């Protein structure tokens, strides 16, 4: 309507809203867990404290929040809300939507039973799960909303069971084959699926199964023969929707037999000047529950209303009509592509059907294409696991686009086709092709928006805002980004691939500048690279990237020469930071081969330091729970047992997995263990753009899963088959065969070149599989793998000498980083907990450790927004009334340049940052307020648009070092004045008792139960006598010589 009333003078718009905030995107409701910020779901702009957004005022729309429309008087043309407010109308549009359908299951009245519809539903579920220590929950309903609800439950760290009455999930969209592929993906994420489930009752904790007991949920019972009760403490019902048509029904407006307001092709109801759209509208005896038909209805209704009241419509134009909607859809559910289009499940009596099916259970891909009997027309299809060509197939089926000469070539998923393979959505040049199915955004709309925004203004957020593309389910965002890049190129611009604001180069470009520099000494440190090719201070993005480049070329000790300031969270400590700020210790176990004495040493070390132990999927033993100050001692013990660093903390080789091969296995044809040991010892410690893994299988049975690794070898009678470009994880990729029946030395030669080519040309944090897909096709059209053969075997780029030389340099300069630390007292000092004292605060002072099957682990972090998260001081300047004293906390030489270090003041941890790049010093609390973890001193120091900052090493929350304000959020750090007097570092601090009351470690310890909030006590403490001069408090614990 705003579009038609451009001057805003011919109609007044008003909307009743039952909820406490304006319209938001329910399609992306599950993503609420990522931010716990309702504004991230807003359909317009950020919500203010009243739940409104600026958009409503800017467009003159009256908004009545918390005021459900309860009646409409069609005679007097008056609408009344629950508040008693009544407003007259000329035209009314019913968009009351639907409510969740809850089947009449005995026990549905119990505490712990929820529906999944609103933000308040999610918050209620979160609160109940926390207060009742919910470990397991059931979601009744396996349709689209049910799967979204199941993900929401899983995001709460609660075991999630999907209960579906039908034989398969999403029975309206996919068939049994699609169900099998989808279930495989879902269950690989730890969720459980129960189909053909006949839920009989929701059982209470008192064992009751009636309709009156209010005992909390304890289980689900089923009428299926032989099924046991399923123990759960929470139930989410997502069994479909029912239109909220009670206002229309009470007003005498015609509704359908099973609900819904009957409408015509222009969305008019049976009463003059009343329209209905969305999930309440019943057109041709059908309710459309998808977002796109809802938008179509809104456009048609707005046009009809504008025509009726005579605004913005050319009388000669034919009014648009709603005649139904294409129910094709493409979604990403729990990380799995699911799409259906056209006639995807023909009726049993439909004889004009010919089906082609692709079923790959190993990759979790299922595809069914449905043609007519003659094969001349694509009628529809189902795509699960790989829907990269959905746009093309949808267009062929719905618009009658021409089929290829051999239609069967459409069946294989893009990830399995020959030639240049792309895992991304295909991009059509046709302006009418649909890009965003949620909001019906075409390629042409995006093209026009980019042209209007221009090179400077056309960013992805701006494009999404003005077109709504990518703001629905989010599945089309990569496609939108790709189109943006293409259109910017046409305008003479480009989509930035710069490292960050400090370098106008991508990682490959910066790598090329550094490695080809004739004066290597001019680019052998971050400061020199920044001065020569960048600007500013650097940040948490470019520092690790440059550090990795320098390590990949020069291979010096990463903690020396100021390089520790470049290292990300884990590399700086040579260990993986875990929850609560403790670390894991992962020794190298080449090929998984361990001696009994080494196993004993691991056990003894774990017992000595009370570490949680676990065997990993990579054939290693992880020791969890070490404090940073303990790491050198732990590694000294492990080194005596013959262990080296496993580099689990680095973007480097993790492990080479192996089976026992011919040494033990009756099927083995090669000694896979010995070869795996050789391979691992060759590539250990080599830094790369991302971690990489390998595997060696002793026969074609593939027990080492070599084809799921970055590079892998499978033994044959004649040697090994070599594979490149696989990986597991969130987006598994099957490696491609590179060479067959080659000997070990040839394998090594090819892998040397492959890895070095990857190191020199990949983008930052880009796995080999993604990098490999982006490579050009071979000269004969054989795809990236052919290109690799040309480069590595044929030397088509004339770089093999460089690749061989650089790899040999890395192999020859290998050093065990932990052995270097253990033997050097100066390096060991980097692991001291506090600069100003040898006293340590044990891990238990910072987070509670709980027993789990005879071992200890840190207690669970509360979900964001719950107590013990997003900590804030009681006032902006909590110590404004306090008397302060300049306290000496150390010598300037105690604090390394451009990094943080922790000091202990009373029982409070503070972080001191020596920003030598600027000649400035800062002091803040050491606790990151996000998760109350004492880790900020371990963060990377840099700047954002000139503002000095530190990035928390846990979740990269960024804070200004000048005033403590969070740059990317609304949290704050408490900061303190600091000055340098000759060589002394002095901090202006209140008395210990005051600082401890607010920031004391034990008071902020993360616990199983709610923390006692002592922050407010600070304002009750009387100001102490102000000393007359600078003094050094004895309680700061003199540092031992």
* Model pLDDT for residues 296-348, shown as the tens digit of each residue: 899 999 999 988 888 876 656 678 899 988 888 887 777 788 889 999 888 88
Cα distance between residue 697 and residue 707, in whole Å:
9
pLDDT of residue 291: 81
| Averaged pLDDT for residues 576-590 | 92
pLDDT of residue 531 exceeding 70, the answer is yes
Phi-psi region of 882 (alpha: psi -120 to 50; beta: other; left: phi over 0): beta
Confidence category of residue 433, pLDDT binned at 50, 70, 90: confident
Q: How far apart are CA 692 and CA 298, in angstroms?
A: 50
3-state class percentages of the chain: helix first, strand second, coil last, to nearest 5: 30, 25, 45
Distance between CA atoms of residues 147 and 163, nearest Å:
10
The angle, 0 to 180 degrees and rounded to 10, between the axes of the packed helices 744-761 and 672-683 is: 30
Neighbours of 1029 (CB within 10 A): 6
Nearest-angstrom CA–CA distance, 852 and 832: 29
What are the start-end ranges of the H helices in 534-659? 542-553, 569-573, 596-608, 631-640
Separation of alpha carbons 780 and 50, rounded Å = 63
Count how many residues are written for the chain. 1041
Give the pLDDT score at 1020: 39
At 86 the pLDDT is 95
* pLDDT tens readout for residues 956-972: 899 999 999 998 788 99
Q: What is the pLDDT of residues 64-75, one digit of tens each?
A: 999 999 999 999
Run of H or E including 673: helix 672-683
Contact residues for 918 (Cβ-Cβ < 8 A; gap 6+): 537, 948
Q: Find out whether 503 and 534 touch, Cβ atoms under 8 Å.
A: yes
Percent of the chain scoring above 90 in pLDDT:
60
Tell me the backbone φ, ψ of residue 849, rounded to 5 degrees: -105, 135
Q: Which ranges constitute the DSSP H helices of 732-767?
A: 744-761
| φ, ψ for residue 373, nearest 5 deg | -60, -35
Residue 479 reports pLDDT greater than 90 = no
SS3 923: strand
What are 116-160's pLDDT values in tens digits? 899 999 999 999 998 999 999 999 999 888 888 898 888 888 999
Please state, in angstroms and as integers, the Cα–Cα distance from residue 932 to each residue in 167, 569, 1033, following that order: 46, 17, 27
pLDDT digits (tens, 9 = 90+) for 375-399: 889 999 999 988 888 888 888 888 8
Distances (CA, A) of 306 to 10, 22, 314, 346, 440: 10, 24, 10, 40, 22
- Whether 774 has a pLDDT exceeding 90, the answer reads no
Confidence class of residue 271 from pLDDT cuts 50, 70 and 90? Answer: very high
Between the CA of residue 800 and those of 335, 753, 803, what are the distances in Å?
Answer: 39, 7, 5
Which pLDDT value is given to residue 307? 87
With bands split at pLDDT 50, 70 and 90, how would you rate the model's confidence at 863?
Answer: confident
pLDDT score, position 725: 94
Looking at residue 1000, its pLDDT comes to 94
Q: Which tens digits make up the pLDDT trace of 721-730?
A: 999 999 876 5
Per residue, the 3-state secondary structure of 809-830, as one string, reads: HHHHCCCCHHHHHHCCHHHHHC
Helix axes 507-515, 744-761, angle to 10 degrees: 110
The pLDDT score that the predictor gives to residue 1032 is: 39
* pLDDT of residue 489 exceeding 90: no
Q: What is the mean pLDDT of residues 644-669?
A: 94
Give the pLDDT score at 314: 64
Considering only 225-239, 452-466, 545-559, 1013-1027, which range has the smallest mean pLDDT? Answer: 1013-1027
End-to-end CA distance of the chain: 78
Compute the Cα dihedral for 40, 43, 44, 48 and give only its sign. negative
> Average pLDDT for residues 463-480, to the nearest whole number?
74
> What is the pLDDT at residue 35?
67
Q: Closest by alpha carbon to 724, among 736, 740, 713?
A: 736
Q: What's the pLDDT at 486?
A: 87
Cα distance between residue 2 and residue 12, in whole Å? 10
């Amino acid at each position: 309507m705003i579009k038609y009333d451009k001057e805003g003078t011919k109609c007044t718009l008003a909307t009743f809203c039952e909820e406490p905030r304006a319209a938001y995107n329910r399609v992306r409701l599950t993503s609420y867990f990522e931010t716990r910020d309702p504004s991230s779901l807003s359909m317009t702009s950020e919500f203010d404290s009243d739940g409104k957004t600026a958009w409503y005022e800017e467009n003159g729309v009256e908004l009545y929040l918390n005021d459900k429309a309860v009646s409409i008087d069609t005679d007097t043309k008056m609408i009344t809300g629950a508040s008693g407010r009544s407003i007259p109308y000329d035209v009314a549009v019913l968009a009351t939507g639907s409510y969740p359908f809850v089947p009449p299951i005995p026990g549905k009245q119990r505490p712990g039973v929820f529906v999944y519809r609103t933000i308040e539903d999610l918050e209620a579920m979160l609160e109940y799960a926390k207060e009742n220590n919910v470990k397991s929950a059931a979601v009744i309903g396996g349709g689209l909303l049910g799967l979204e609800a199941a993900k929401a439950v899983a995001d709460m760290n609660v075991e999630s069971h999907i209960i579906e009455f039908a034989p398969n999930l999403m029975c309206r969209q996919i068939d049994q084959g699609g169900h099998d592929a989808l279930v495989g993906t879902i269950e690989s994420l730890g969720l459980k699926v129960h189909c053909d489930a006949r839920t009989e009752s929701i059982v209470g904790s008192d064992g009751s199964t009636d309709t009156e007991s209010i005992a909390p949920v304890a289980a689900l019972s089923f009428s299926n023969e032989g099924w046991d009760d399923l123990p759960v403490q929470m139930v989410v019902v997502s069994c479909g929707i029912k239109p909220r048509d009670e206002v229309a029904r009470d007003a005498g407006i015609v509704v359908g037999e099973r609900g819904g307001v009957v409408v015509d092709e222009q969305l008019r109801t049976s009463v003059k000047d009343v329209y209905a759209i969305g999930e309440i509208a019943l057109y041709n005896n059908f309710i459309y529950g998808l977002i796109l038909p809802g938008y179509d209805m809104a456009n048609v209704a707005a046009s009809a209303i504008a025509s009726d009241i005579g605004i913005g419509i050319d009388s000669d134009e034919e009014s648009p009509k709603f005649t139904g909607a294409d129910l094709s859809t493409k979604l990403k559910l729990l990380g799995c592509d699911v799409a259906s289009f056209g006639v995807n499940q023909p009726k049993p009596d439909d004889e004009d059907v010919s089906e082609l099916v692709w079923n790959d259970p190993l990759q979790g891909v299922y595809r069914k294409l449905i043609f007519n009997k003659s094969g001349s027309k694509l009628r529809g299809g189902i795509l699960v696991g790989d829907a990269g060509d959905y746009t093309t197939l949808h267009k062929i089926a719905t618009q009658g686009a021409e089929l290829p000469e051999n239609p069967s070539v459409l069946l294989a998923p893009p990830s399995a086709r020959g030639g240049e393979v792309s895992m991304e959505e295909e991009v059509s040049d046709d302006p009418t092709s649909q890009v965003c199915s949620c909001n019906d955004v075409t390629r042409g709309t995006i093209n026009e928006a980019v042209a209007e925004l221009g090179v400077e203004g056309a960013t992805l957020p701006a494009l999404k805002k003005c077109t709504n593309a990518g703001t629905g389910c989010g599945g089309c965002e990569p496609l939108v980004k790709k189109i943006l890049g293409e259109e910017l190129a046409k305008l003479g611009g480009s989509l930035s691939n710069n490292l960050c604001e400090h370098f106008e180069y991508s990682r490959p470009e910066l790598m090329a500048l550094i490695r080809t520099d004739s004066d290597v000494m001019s680019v052998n440190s971050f400061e020199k690279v920044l001065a020569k090719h960048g600007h500013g201070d650097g940040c948490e993005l470019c520092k690790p990237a440059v550090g990795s480049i320098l390590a990949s070329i020069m291979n010096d000790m990463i903690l020396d020469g100021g390089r520790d300031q470049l290292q990300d969270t884990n590399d700086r400590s040579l260990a993986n930071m875990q929850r609560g700020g403790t670390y894991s210790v992962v020794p190298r176990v080449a090929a998984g081969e361990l001696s009994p004495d080494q196993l004993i040493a691991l056990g003894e070390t774990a017992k000595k330091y009370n570490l949680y132990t676990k065997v990993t999927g990579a054939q290693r033993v992880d020791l969890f729970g070490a404090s940073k100050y303990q790491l050198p001692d732990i590694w000294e013990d492990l080194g005596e047992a013959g262990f080296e660093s496993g580099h689990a903390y680095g973007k480097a080789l993790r492990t080479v997995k192996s089976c026992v091969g011919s040494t033990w296995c009756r099927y083995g044809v090669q000694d896979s263990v010995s070869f795996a040991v050789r391979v691992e010892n060759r590539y250990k410690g080599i830094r790369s753009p991302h971690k990489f893994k390998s595997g060696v299988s002793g026969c074609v049975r593939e027990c080492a899963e070599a084809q799921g690794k970055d590079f892998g070898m499978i033994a044959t009678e004649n040697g090994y088959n070599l594979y490149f470009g696989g990986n597991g994880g969130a987006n598994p990729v099957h490696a491609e065969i590179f060479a067959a029946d080659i000997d070990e030395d040839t394998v090594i030669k090819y892998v040397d070149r492959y890895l070095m080519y990857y190191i020199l040309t990949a983008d930052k944090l880009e796995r080999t599989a993604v990098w490999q897909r982006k490579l050009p096709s071979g000269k004969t059209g054989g795809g990236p793998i052919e290109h690799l053969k040309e480069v590595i075997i044929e030397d088509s780029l004339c770089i093999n000498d460089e690749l061989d030389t650089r790899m040999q340099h890395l192999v020859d300069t290998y050093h065990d980083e932990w052995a270097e630390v253990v033997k050097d007292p100066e390096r060991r000092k980097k692991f001291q907990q506090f600069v100003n004292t040898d006293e340590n605060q044990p891990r238990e002072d910072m987070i509670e450790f709980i027993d789990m099957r005879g071992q200890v682990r840190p207690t669970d972090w509360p979900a964001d927004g719950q107590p013990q998260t997003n900590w804030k001081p009681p006032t902006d300047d909590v110590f404004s009334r306090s008397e302060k004293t300049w306290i000496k906390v150390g010598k300037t030489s105690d604090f390394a340049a451009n990094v943080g270090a922790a000091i202990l003041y009373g029982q409070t941890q503070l972080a001191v940052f020596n920003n030598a790049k600027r000649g400035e010093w800062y002091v803040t609390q050491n606790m990151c307020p996000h998760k109350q973890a004492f880790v900020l001193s371990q963060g990377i120091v840099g700047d954002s648009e000139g503002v000095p900052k530190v990035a928390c090493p846990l979740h990269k929350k960024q804070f200004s070092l000048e005033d403590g304000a969070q740059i990317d959020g609304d949290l704050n750090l408490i900061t303190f004045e600091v000055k340098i007097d000759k060589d002394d570092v002095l901090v202006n601090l209140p008395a210990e008792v005051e600082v401890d009351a607010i920031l004391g470690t034990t008071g902020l310890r993360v616990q199983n139960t709610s923390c006692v909030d002592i922050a407010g006590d600070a304002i009750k403490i009387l100001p102490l006598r102000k000393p007359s001069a600078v003094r050094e408090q004895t309680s700061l614990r003199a540092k031992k010589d």
